[in-house]
Amino acid sequence: MNRKTIILGFDMETDIGSWTMGDKGLTKGGPEILRILRNHNIQATFFFTGREAQNHPKLVRQIRAAGHEIGCHTMFHETIGNAVFDMPGANFVLPDEVPGRLELATRAVQQIAGIRPVSFRAPRLFGSTEMIRILEDLGYLADSSFPCYFHGRDFRPYHPSAKDWSKPGKMRILEIPVFYDTEGSQGGTRHRGRDQWPMLRLKGGPWFAHLCRRMMPKARNHDGDAVLCVYLHPWEFVTMPRTIRTDEATITFNTFLHKNCGRTHLNALDAFIEAMIADGVRFTTMQQFAREYE
């Protein structure tokens, strides 16, 4: 068929991920994202943390009413799997606590959205085999947490093994990894040089569209179809601070966390979607793709 598909996934969390409790991204960026998606008549998946779903029920219902999918992103943006990079204060959940925490997050999102989430993404792509097994037990259809850029493997969808989520197996849940730049430089770490994020924001829509064109052939299955999964955050679409001060510390963020946040990134997303549609690419949700995959 040679069908080309892109899944846009927005991780609906507090501003700058693990570093603040601000919600400008949700309150200001969320509606702007919806406006762009509406203008292009495309659907996306919004992965809400349970806490942010509870704190912003109107936004959750607005997103669902617009025809988009509501997924889950843990309860408090906590770490429930294996670390991919050094993250001080990453709030690791003890292994024995993971099943209860994921069940709590699922219920919280379901209560606000009015529908049980069936798509999941772990914060920072810190997932694990145990996490995948729990998600399957909870009835999830798809996950998009496997950090292929870190492991250096292909990013085609697969049903994982219950013994090792990085390998194909017989589980029902579908793993749809986020794609990465296989030709990118690893730089000083194993992730920043090749990870797709935050390249749309830093390099713009035309550059990111070109990246997707380069990576599409590497994502093709035996039928010639290809899917690329993109991950973004609502806080990237509003201006973010360079420094925050609290009672106990002052944090100065690396440039890549705040550069081009706001209107520049909104324009980049708009240009990227327009370029992909012109290429004949279709946009869909995680849930829809998982059902089609079967």
Strand partners, 251: 244
DSSP state letter for 79: B
Ranges of H-type helices in the chain: 24, 30-40, 50-55, 57-65, 98-113, 129-137, 148-151, 199-203, 205-215, 255-258, 263-278, 286-293
Residue 268 in tokens = 């980049």
Topology annotation, domain 4-293:
TIM Barrel (3.20.20)
Please tell me the distance from the alpha carbon of residue 64 to that of residue 62, in angstroms, as a whole number. Answer: 6
Residues whose CB falls within 8 Å of the CB of residue 41, separated by 6 or more in sequence, listed in order: none
Give me the pLDDT at residue 188, please.
Answer: 46
Enumerate residue ranges in the chain where pLDDT < 70. 1, 88-91, 185-192
* Burial class of residue 246 (count of CB atoms within 10 Å of its CB; 0-12, 13-18, 19+): exposed
Instruction: Give me the pLDDT at residue 85, please.
Output: 82
What are 252-268's pLDDT values in tens digits? 999 999 999 999 999 99
pLDDT at 189: 52
pLDDT of residue 88: 67
Please tell me the distance from the alpha carbon of residue 218 to that of residue 182, in angstroms, as a whole number.
9
Given the DSSP bridges, would you call strands 226-232 and 174-175 parallel, antiparallel or unpaired?
Answer: unpaired
Q: Within a 10 A sphere around the Cβ of 73, how many other Cβ atoms?
A: 28
Encode pLDDT of 36-72 as tens digits: 999 999 999 999 999 999 999 999 999 999 999 999 9
Domain ranges of the chain: 4-293
